[in-house]
Amino acid sequence: MNQGHESTATGPGHRFRLYGGREVLVDQEGFLLDPTAWSEEVAVEMARELGLEMIEETHWVTIRFLREYYFAHGKAPMSRDIKKGTGLSLLEIERLFPGGLKAGARRLAGLPNPRGCM
């Protein structure tokens, strides 16, 4: 079971969560603060929290594309890049992930919170 505890040293609403046997720092909406703290095990446990019991290959294609693009370009991909890179429409991605693209796919990919991007 995931154990969260507040940390006043990191910022308002930031807390450590136990995912995949390791502590990772998340923001108030559950997004990783450090994308390099991500692992597939972290993604699997985050998915379960969102109600997604199993990450299928289509999910992994999207998650891996988001991560690869982010680390190659220093930012999250635009909608047209996501469609081109995954071969999926935005509607398909929205339906595939609980929480859609923002609160689902981006969160499971370990990308920073897109609060100001949407």
From the list 22, 5, 27, 15, the residue with the least C-alpha distance to 113 is: 27
In a domain, 45, yes or no: yes
Res 118: pLDDT? 39
In a domain, 79, yes or no: yes
The one catalytic residue among 6, 29, 60, 117: 117
Dist CA 39 CA 36 (whole Å): 8
Q: What is the pTM of this model?
A: 0.87
In a domain, 75, yes or no: yes
Res 12: pLDDT? 83
Res 6: pLDDT? 41
State the total domains in the chain.
Answer: 1
pLDDT tens-place values along the chain, 118 residues long: 444 444 444 688 899 999 988 899 999 999 999 999 999 999 999 999 999 999 999 999 999 999 999 999 999 999 999 999 999 999 999 999 999 999 999 999 999 998 744 3
Domain holding 102, by residue range, is: 4-108
In a domain, 42, yes or no: yes
In a domain, 114, yes or no: no
Q: What is the CATH number of the domain that holds 37?
A: 1.10.10.370
Residue 117 a catalytic site member? yes
Name residue 5's beta-bridge partners.
16
Q: Are 8 and 16 in contact (CB under 8 A)?
A: no
Dist CA 93 CA 114 (whole Å): 16
In a domain, 113, yes or no: no
In a domain, 82, yes or no: yes
Res 2: pLDDT? 45
In a domain, 118, yes or no: no
Dist CA 25 CA 67 (whole Å): 18
